Amino acid sequence: MQYRPDADELLDAVADLLERQVIAAVPPHLQHQVRVAANLCRILQREAQLGTTNDDAERHRLAALLGHDGSLLELRAELAARLDDPAPLDAVTDRAVRDALLATVRADLAIAKPGYDATAGTP
């Protein structure tokens, strides 16, 4: 059973309080820190909303790319090790790795900096 308010609602309430009331009540030299705190609440809110789905999607992409399943951390480590290998990748593999990494970066940006997750001119 999930009790109310949930983490998403709590983070939204804290961010709203910081943005609408606290920022106006603090001295100008502290307003930037209040904005940063509100932004961190929004990032955590998006992480709570999107994080599990993004991680599952990345794990599936990496499993397909590497040809076997595993934990996300194991698959990331294996891909990193393969990319450290000085042997060049063939064009198909290179494109698949690029696409998988780009999808992961876009998903991460959707949490950390929405609006920056769509890259103009990049398929």
Q: How far apart are CA 7 and CA 51, in angstroms?
A: 13
pLDDT of residue 1: 63
pLDDT of residue 92: 84
Q: How far apart are CA 104 and CA 14, in angstroms?
A: 28
Q: Tokens 């994080």 — which residue?
A: 51
Alpha carbon separation from 51 to 58, 76, 84, 108, 122 (Å, rounded): 10, 16, 27, 8, 23
pLDDT of residue 117: 78
pLDDT of residue 4: 86
pLDDT of residue 89: 80
pLDDT of residue 111: 95
Q: What angle do CA 87, 90, 95 make, to 5 degrees?
A: 120
Domain residues of the chain, as ranges?
7-112
In tens digits, the chain (123 residues) has pLDDT values of 668 898 889 999 999 999 999 999 999 999 999 999 999 999 999 999 999 999 999 999 999 999 999 999 999 999 999 999 888 788 888 899 999 999 999 999 999 999 887 765 555
CB neighbour list of residue 109: distance below 8 Å, 6 or more residues apart: 116, 117
